[in-house]
């Protein structure tokens, strides 16, 4: 049985297209200092640092953890780097949590980041390989056919994706850290935006952002002494599956369903829509909200879009299960950090510290990240109470 652990400090940078005022080191340090301040701690209080980062090619800095030791105050301290594609921010938080739950460390700092402006992340992964024709038209080009298949299976109305795009940007307008600030966005504006990868329009896709996110995770004894309410970690799970195998359900991946079942069991969740007060789920393309509503068991298969269209996931429509109150990946996407932001934002919610995008009285929430070809999954459940 794992020991109890909790999030006691959260720090983020603001998210923007180009942070030209800081280096990568300056960016991660800013988030880390914010997390330490939030926890009322100093560098000396940290036993180890867990750093997460999506592919090195994104910035062209190989093994950035080596270069970032000074900036993260971990000279002479243990440091580990995590790398699981787009889910990396979530996986990193889980690795950090496990180092406390196992009793290895009492208090760790975990950080993840992306400085997309220092490279071209969209194409950094599209290297030609002879056994495949070179048509990797970015992540949108990969996911659009899967979304098309979801549309076919579910008979969802064409504008469910548009609704998500609007909803998450309205949420983002409540969050001063969010990259896209579009308080006046309309369905019409999204619908008329350029069709990039049919059926995905420009405004149905995430932006490219610079930014970093950090958390301090402490054991039960230290968490009880923390000045602000801790967010207790009630369940942690990771699953993955191969990118390609015969009969793979790309729309509703087995690994995602298994990961959710595991984390729900740990947290005693039997009805996610009812038991959670909110969720932060990795939705880089609008249609992934209805798809993940089904994959995560918030709606029966083929009916995720109904929750979206009813406004169930919207703060502004007083939905019963708001998703991505921070604005989500659709409002800010520093890839390496995006998963950790989901995990940190649900911790903010159950600490009652989410500002204008707070869900009143949030007690239990789900953080989710996915990566690769929708094949790597990381999830945690955090609560205002220990059990």
Q: Please report, as ranges, the residues that interact with another protein according to CB under 8 A.
A: 20-21, 60, 123, 126-127, 129-138, 140-141, 144-146, 148-149, 152, 194-200, 241-248
Cα distance between residue 276 and residue 256, in whole Å: 18
Strand locations in 283-375 (E)? 364-371
First to last CA, the chain: 14
Dihedral, CA atoms, 268, 273, 279, 281, nearest 10 degrees? 100
Nearer to another protein, 232 or 377 (CB): 377
Cβ 187 to another protein shortest distance, Å: 21
Name every residue whose Cβ is closer than 8 Å to that of residue 340 and which is 6 or more positions away in sequence. 52, 89, 90, 92, 93, 110, 111, 112, 213, 214, 215, 369
Nearer to another protein, 140 or 319 (CB): 140
Rounded to the nearest 5°, which phi and psi values hold at 161?
-65, -40
Cβ 59 to another protein shortest distance, Å: 10
Nearer to another protein, 3 or 120 (CB): 120
Cβ 199 to another protein shortest distance, Å: 8
214 forms beta bridges with: 11, 111
Nearer to another protein, 141 or 229 (CB): 141
| DSSP 8-class letter at 176 | T
Is-contact 385 363, C-beta < 8 A?
Answer: yes
| DSSP 8-class letter at 8 | E
Dig out the tokens for 321 from the structure: 């299960």
**Helix axis angle, 288-295 to 138-154, nearest 10°:** 60
Nearer to another protein, 127 or 385 (CB): 127
Cα distance between residue 264 and residue 277, in whole Å: 14
Nearer to another protein, 10 or 24 (CB): 24
Nearer to another protein, 170 or 200 (CB): 200
Query: Would you say the C-alpha torsion 202, 167, 212, 107 has a positive or negative sign?
Result: negative
| DSSP 8-class letter at 108 | E
Nearer to another protein, 210 or 277 (CB): 210
Name every residue whose Cβ is closer than 8 Å to that of residue 301 and which is 6 or more positions away in sequence. 252, 294
């Amino acid at each position: 049985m794992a020991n109890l652990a909790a999030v006691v400090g959260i720090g983020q940078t603001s998210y923007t297209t180009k942070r030209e005022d800081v280096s990568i080191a300056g960016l991660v340090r800013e988030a880390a200092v914010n997390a330490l301040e939030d926890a009322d701690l100093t560098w000396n209080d940290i036993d180890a640092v867990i750093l997460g980062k999506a592919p090195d090619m994104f910035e062209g800095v190989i093994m950035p953890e080596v270069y970032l030791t000074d900036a993260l105050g971990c000279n002479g301290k243990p440091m580990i780097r995590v790398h699981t594609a787009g889910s990396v921010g979530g996986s990193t938080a889980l690795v950090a949590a496990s180092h406390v739950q196992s009793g290895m460390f009492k208090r760790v700092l975990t950080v993840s980041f992306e400085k997309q402006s220092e490279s071209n992340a969209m194409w950094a992964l599209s290297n030609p390989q002879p056994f495949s024709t070179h048509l990797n038209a970015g992540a949108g080009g990969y996911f659009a056919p899967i979304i098309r298949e979801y549309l076919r299976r579910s008979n969802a109305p064409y504008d469910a994706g548009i609704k998500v795009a609007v909803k998450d940007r309205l949420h983002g307008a409540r969050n001063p850290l969010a990259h896209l600030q579009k308080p006046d966005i309309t369905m019409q504006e999204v619908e008329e935006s350029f069709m990039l990868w049919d059926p995905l329009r420009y405004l149905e896709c995430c932006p490219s952002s610079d930014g970093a996110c950090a958390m301090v995770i402490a054991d039960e004894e230290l968490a009880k002494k923390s000045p602000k309410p801790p967010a207790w970690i009630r369940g942690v799970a990771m699953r993955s599956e191969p990118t390609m195998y015969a009969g793979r359900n790309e729309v509703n991946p087995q690994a995602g369903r298994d990961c959710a079942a595991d984390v729900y069991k740990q947290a005693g969740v039997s009805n996610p829509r009812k038991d959670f007060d909110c969720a932060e789920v990795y939705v880089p393309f609008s249609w992934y909200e209805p798809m993940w509503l089904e994959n995560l068991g918030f709606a029966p298969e083929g009916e995720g879009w109904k929750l979206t269209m009813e406004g169930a996931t919207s703060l502004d429509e007083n939905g019963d299960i708001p998703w991505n109150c921070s604005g989500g990946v659709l409002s800010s996407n520093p890839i390496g950090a995006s998963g950790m932001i989901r995990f940190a934002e649900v911790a903010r919610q159950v600490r009652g510290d989410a500002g204008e995008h707070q869900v009143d009285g949030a007690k239990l929430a789900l953080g989710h990240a996915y990566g690769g070809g929708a094949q790597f999954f990381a999830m945690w459940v955090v609560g205002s109470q220990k059990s």
